[in-house]
Amino acid sequence: MKKVPIILVDMDGVLADFDRHFMVVWSARYPDRPALDQSRRTSFYIKDEFKSEYRQDIQSIFEEPGFYLDLPPVSGAVAAMQAMKRTGYDVWICSSPKMNYRYCAPEKYQWVERELGTEWVERVILTRRKAMIQGDVLIDDQPDIPFSETASWKQALFDAPYNRNHSSLPRINWLNWKTVLCDVLACVP
């Protein structure tokens, strides 16, 4: 029997457009503070792009009710997830909740139900240590995932301005996902 590849897909920055939504909220709440040009990002953590004096204000946005629920989908993400599943991959959403998870964790489930459908809710894995989750490929925008050297999966780095200096990982986006997954899994497209 042929093994069905397990594909793990991160949420924030891969399925849900975390940066775009954050900047909308940030600009509305603090119109006098500098905005962030996302195309010039250099750090995975958005808080590192701002002055340290703004960190508490940034954190409070992440922790407020509705922030995760209101994230718009990344362009092409929903269609790609449905297509991956139709292709025959065993697709799971693997996301790290914030440590202050009061709203974050339940809103991630609500977001998945709204954007992908009820059948996807049982395919959500929330963990602070993705390397412990079994799979063949992890699609994630974080270039340095803790303990990834012990993981069963290979990472495909979801392309973003802040991770473009990490050339050793295969790059993936919602236009080239079929080709990249086949390359990583050594299959025939």
Both 172 and 140 in a single domain? yes
**pTM (two decimals):** 0.93
Rounded (10°) CA dihedral 102, 125, 46, 151 = 140
pLDDT of residue 1: 64
Residues 148 and 117 sit within 8 Å (Cβ to Cβ): no
pLDDT band at 188 (very low <50, low <70, confident <90, very high): low
Mean pLDDT, the chain, integer: 93
Question: Does residue 1 form part of some domain?
Answer: no
Helix, strand or coil, per DSSP, at residue 32: coil
Q: How many domains does the chain have?
A: 2
**Statement: residue 189 has pLDDT above 60:** no
* Listed range (3-12, 15-24, 97-106) with the worst mean pLDDT: 97-106
Angstrom distance (rounded) from CA 13 to CA 80: 15
Active site residues: 10, 12
How far, in Å, CA of 157 to CA of 189, rounded?
19
Owning domain of residue 33: 18-63
Q: Which residues contact 48 (CB under 8 A, 6 or more apart)?
A: none
